[in-house]
Amino acid sequence: MTEQTYDVVVIGGGPPGENAAGRVASHGLSAALVESELLGGECSFWACMPSKALLRSGEALRAAKAVAGSAAAVTGDLDVAAVLKRRDSFAANWDDTGQVEWAEGAKITVVRGRARLDGSLRVVVSKEGAEDQVLLATHAVVLAVGSDSAFPPIDGLREARPWTNREATSAKAAPERLAVLGGGPVGCELAQAWNDLGSEVTLIVNGERLLPRLEPFAGEYVKEALTSYGIDVRTSANVKSARRDGDGPTTLTFEDGSELEADAVLVATGRSPRTNDLGLATAGLKDGDWVDIDDSCRVKGVEGGWLYAVGDVNHRALLTHMGKYQARICGDAITARSKGDHAMPVKWSPYAATANNGYVPAVVFTDPQVASVGLTEAEAEDKGMSVRAVEYEVGNTAGGSLHADGYKGLAKMVVDQERLVIVGFTIVAPDAGDHLHAATIAVVGEVPLDRLWHAVPSFPTVSEVWLRLLETYGM
Ligand SMILES: Cc1cc2nc3c(=O)[nH]c(=O)nc-3n(C[C@H](O)[C@H](O)[C@H](O)COP(=O)(O)OP(=O)(O)OC[C@H]3O[C@@H](n4cnc5c(N)ncnc54)[C@H](O)[C@@H]3O)c2cc1C
Ligand SMILES: NC(=O)c1ccc[n+]([C@@H]2O[C@H](COP(=O)([O-])OP(=O)(O)OC[C@H]3O[C@@H](n4cnc5c(N)ncnc54)[C@H](O)[C@@H]3O)[C@@H](O)[C@H]2O)c1
């Protein structure tokens, strides 16, 4: 077995792993980044990028049709082959050469193979047809192994070989009939995408509403929109079993005995951590679990404090931008500690991923988009805050009415009545994602309402929703 020593060894080359390695390397530490599949991870090849590419063309077409004048110029349908070709290019044709070049340029050593922890600061990498390689870390090992689709306990589902996010983002053609299990971001976005591309889609959710982690109105708006595009949205629907003969269609049987036949079934009912065969037990942890971290992303309960975890695997916020943020914080904490600094994870310091704790921004790229940051009204109340929430119809802004004929949307802000700052903001509207960062700054900056009153939105933009919300609040 060969043995090499680096200051830091990162396991998993999704964006959080790449950023953790890149950050420590930029501070002059040596870093090895181990990847068993494609450098760039789920996000680049089977999640964020290809799914957004699948969604964008339908959204652009609807946007053009929503304005008198440009609507008349739209005379055809989506060019499905061109959409899929554009998607392929956003997934770099599932080739990670570009990412490897970036890593080499950032002075990161890329190691191909499957990594496993083997006790304190020791990692073993296996690769078919090659001798195992031992990587020793002087300062830290960072886990960035991500998550897989979780399968719900439905009889016969696994045997029916359903789509996961991988097949749903890389398929070469639209299935005639697609059944989607799950109404979170994955289910809603991919139901929208494949409906736009010509599939007859049924979206099946066991809960009462879509997007259950967000403000209830978000799920209602998205349900209404998806239904208007022809998607059959079934809430409070429980699939009991799945049956598939050979490569034929799959039959889903519901609790009430009814059946649904589909040419493809997508499982989008949440995620599970990739920690089954990672050697967690050699660090005193439990194999197969999510990994619990402190605010500097150091894994709790590991003697010597040498193990860190960023991205989905720590289960703080399963979002690329949050994983990358954790990686920057974690990289800075590791570097400081390598120089003897304790780098205490004090709230809002460079060594604490404070935004994990109630300040997370997220966008669901359905049409309309849902953009949110911070706490929902219910979450704030659960935390014991005294809050007041106000809402405003975004279409009543001059910017909204100019943007599209019949523009529809709703924004809600949740105010902590004691501190008079905004603790949560949600907007459902066309292109809402691009309005989110103002809210993120207000929430993270804990900008007092009486100062926000002086942040004047330009006329005539959708941003005037901020002024209207403050007026509705009583300013
Ligand atoms: C369909 C879909 C759409 C999404 N869209 C968005 C979006 O628009 N915006 C957003 O912010 N988030 C989105 N997400 C979430 C986002 O994809 C994840 O939060 C992000 O990919 C997490 O990054 P990660 O590095 O933790 O995991 P991953 O991206 O999964 O990367 C982990 C990497 O580790 C490697 N690995 C695992 N185990 C080992 C091992 N033992 N040895 C070596 N290598 C290993 C894997 O091969 C992989 O490359 C989406 C998710 C899905 C499923
Ligand atoms: N645009 C984005 O930022 C984006 C897009 C996709 C995914 N993501 C991330 O990926 C993570 C995973 O997303 P997800 O949508 O897979 O999971 P999720 O946990 O957010 O939602 C799961 C959904 O599946 C439903 N469900 C669970 N069991 C079911 C069953 N047996 N039958 C029918 N429905 C069932 C739940 O009610 C819920 O609607 C999210 O937390 C999100 O952070 C982000």
What are 106-131's pLDDT values in tens digits? Answer: 999 999 999 999 999 999 999 999 99
Report CA torsion sign: 177, 48, 379, 436: negative
User: Could you tell me if residue 12 is left (phi over 0), alpha (psi between -120 and 50 degrees) or otherwise beta?
Assistant: left
Ligand 1 pocket residues where CB is under 6 Å: 11-17, 34-37, 41-43, 47-48, 51-52, 114-115, 144-146, 165, 169, 186, 274, 278, 311-313, 318-321, 323
Q: Angle formed by the axes of helices 185-196 and 216-228, to 10°?
A: 20
Q: Which residues pair with 411 in a beta bridge?
A: 392, 427
Over residues 279-333, the pLDDT tens digits come to 999 999 999 999 999 999 999 999 999 999 999 999 999 999 999 999 999 999 9
Q: Are 218 and 365 in contact (CB under 8 A)?
A: no
User: Is any atom of ligand 2 closer than 6 Å to the C-beta of 361?
Assistant: no
CA of 263 to the centre of ligand 2 (A): 22
**Residue 317 alpha carbon, nearest atom of ligand 2:** 43
Reported as a pLDDT band with limits 50, 70 and 90, residue 1 is confident
User: Is any atom of ligand 2 closer than 6 Å to the C-beta of 202?
Assistant: no
**Residue 34 alpha carbon, nearest atom of ligand 1:** 43
Closest ligand, as measured to the CA of 372: 2
ipTM exceeding the 0.85 mark:
yes
The residue whose C-alpha atom lies closest to atom 5 belonging to ligand 2 is: 185
pLDDT score of 239:
98
Reported as a pLDDT band with limits 50, 70 and 90, residue 42 is very high
Domains and CATH numbers, the chain: 2-40+96-148+272-354 (3.50.50.60), 158-269 (3.50.50.60), 368-473 (3.30.390.30)
For the chain, give the number of residues: 475
Assess whether pLDDT exceeds 90 at residue 370.
yes
The residue whose C-alpha atom lies closest to atom 25 belonging to ligand 2 is: 182
The chain-wide mean pLDDT, for the chain, equals 98
Q: What single-letter amino acid sits at 145? A: V
**Helices assigned H by DSSP within 267-404:** 320-338, 377-382, 398-403
Distance CA 232, CA 351 (A): 47
CA of 213 to the centre of ligand 2 (A): 9
pLDDT score of 234:
98
Helix, strand, or coil (residue 157):
coil
Mean pLDDT calculated for residue range 211-240: 98
Q: Is 136 exposed, middle or buried (0-12, 13-18, 19+ CB in 10 A)?
A: middle
CA of 430 to the centre of ligand 2 (A): 22
Assess whether pLDDT exceeds 90 at residue 61.
yes
User: Is any atom of ligand 2 closer than 6 Å to the C-beta of 189?
Assistant: yes
The residue whose C-alpha atom lies closest to atom 40 belonging to ligand 2 is: 318
**Residue 149 alpha carbon, nearest atom of ligand 2:** 16
